[in-house]
């Protein structure tokens, strides 16, 4: 269940949030902050709820443990998307719109 939610979050938010004017950039920064916090929460949840490894198969290394799991990868991608969105918004000029 956790992995399904992580994949859905990655697909929905993988590009970060971008704004084109001052008001939209404020909301984009809020969205990017949520991405960073969500990624940090995913990493923390994966580390804190790490299950013990299953018994090894015959002929395999007996004490091998996976160094990186799916939750850590998903969290890192969310944090990266949030950081990219913040940097992109900070360097992007405001677009003047007339109504």
DSSP codes of every residue in 22-58? HHHHHHHHHHHHHHHHHHHHHHHHHHHTPPPPPPPPT
Is 0.75 surpassed by the pTM of this model?
no
pLDDT tens digits along 40-87: 999 999 888 877 666 666 666 665 566 778 888 889 988 998 998 889
C-beta of residue 25 within 8 angstroms of C-beta of residue 94: yes
- What is the reported pLDDT for 36? 93
User: Which residue shows structure tokens 């677009």?
Assistant: 95
């Amino acid at each position: 269940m956790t992995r399904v939610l992580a994949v859905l979050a990655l697909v929905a938010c993988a590009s970060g949030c971008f704004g084109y004017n001052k008001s939209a950039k404020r909301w984009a920064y809020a969205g990017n902050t949520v991405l960073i916090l969500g990624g940090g929460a995913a990493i923390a949840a994966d580390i804190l709820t790490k299950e013990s490894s299953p018994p090894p198969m015959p002929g395999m290394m007996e004490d091998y443990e996976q160094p990186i799991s799916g939750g850590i990868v998903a969290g890192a991608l969310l944090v990266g998307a949030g950081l990219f969105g913040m940097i992109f918004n900070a360097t992007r000029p405001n677009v003047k719109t007339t109504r």
